[in-house]
Amino acid sequence: MKLSIEEGEKAVKLARKAIEEYLETGKIIKDRLEGVFSHKRGVFTTLIEHGELRGCIGFPYPVKRLDEAIIESAISAAIDDPRFEPVKRWEMEKIIVEVTILTEPERINARAQDLPKFVEIGKHGLMVKKGLLSGLLLPQVAVEYGMDAEEFLSHTCLKAGLPPDCWLTGVEIYRFEGQIFMEIEPKGAVVELDIKSCQ
């Protein structure tokens, strides 16, 4: 079920509020929203500062109510992404908040060499699993970096800490779709991003 632009705006504002409240007070907001937000959905929150990634964490699977998942992923993106120093409160004046609502990942059951045929750039995100290792890249990543399906598969393997050709050697590959809502500037209006138009 897709979100309306109004629901997407609520999602992004909820993510920003969760981060700012936590950075100011150390408290996790308890806001609960109705409708789609009461359903379990996968979600990722991405923070962008001056065009550069500043944090991105989320839930690939629908394990929590969407409002709870947004709050938790937003705070984690700000303070728990191991690739970055925790965000400072003043930085939020310069950070664009982006929320990606996911469909449930589905395993691609195909011969390894045929996997690229099942990956549509601009539509699918990918997740790779092997044992305890896993890696996920959102749909917009392939578009932003100009990847084709094979490159996207390889980079998802690398994200999992596996060799780039792992998709040819027997791992679990999952695909999913994402609906992306983002601020056009820090604290600005919220738009739905059409990733295909970015190609």
Average of per-residue pLDDT across 163-170: 95
Return the H-helix or E-strand segment holding 35. none
For residue 103, what is the DSSP state? P
- How far is it, in rounded angstroms, from Cα 79 to Cα 23? 9
Q: Given the DSSP bridges, would you call strands 42-49 and 95-102 parallel, antiparallel or unpaired?
A: antiparallel
Q: Under DSSP, is residue 6 helix (H, G, I), strand (E, B) or coil?
A: helix
Q: What is the pLDDT of residue 19?
A: 98
- How far is it, in rounded angstroms, from Cα 104 to Cα 68? 17
Mean pLDDT computed over every residue of the chain: 95
Contacts of 166 (CB under 8 A, 6+ apart): 128, 130, 157, 160
Contacts of 104 (CB under 8 A, 6+ apart): 42, 61, 62, 176
Print burial letters for 104-137: b (CB count within 10 Å at least 16), e (below 16).
ebeebeeeeeebbeebebeebbbbbbbeeebbbb
Average of per-residue pLDDT across 160-167: 96
Average of per-residue pLDDT across 173-195: 95
pLDDT at 197 over 80: no
Neighbouring CB atoms inside 10 A of 11's CB total: 29
pLDDT at 129 over 80: yes
Q: What is the pLDDT of residue 198?
A: 52
Q: Who wins on pLDDT, 148 or 1? A: 148
pLDDT tens, 25-72?
A: 999 999 999 999 999 999 999 999 999 999 999 999 999 999 999 999
pLDDT at 199 over 60: no
Percent over 70 (pLDDT), the chain? 98
- How far is it, in rounded angstroms, from Cα 32 to Cα 69? 11
Q: Given the DSSP bridges, would you call strands 172-183 and 106-107 parallel, antiparallel or unpaired?
A: antiparallel
pLDDT at 85 over 60: yes
Q: What is the pLDDT of residue 80?
A: 97
pLDDT tens, 102-113?
A: 999 999 999 999
- How far is it, in rounded angstroms, from Cα 155 to Cα 134? 12
Name all domains of the chain by residue range, CATH numbers in brackets. Answer: 5-102 (3.30.700.20), 106-176 (3.30.1490.150)
- How far is it, in rounded angstroms, from Cα 16 to Cα 20? 6
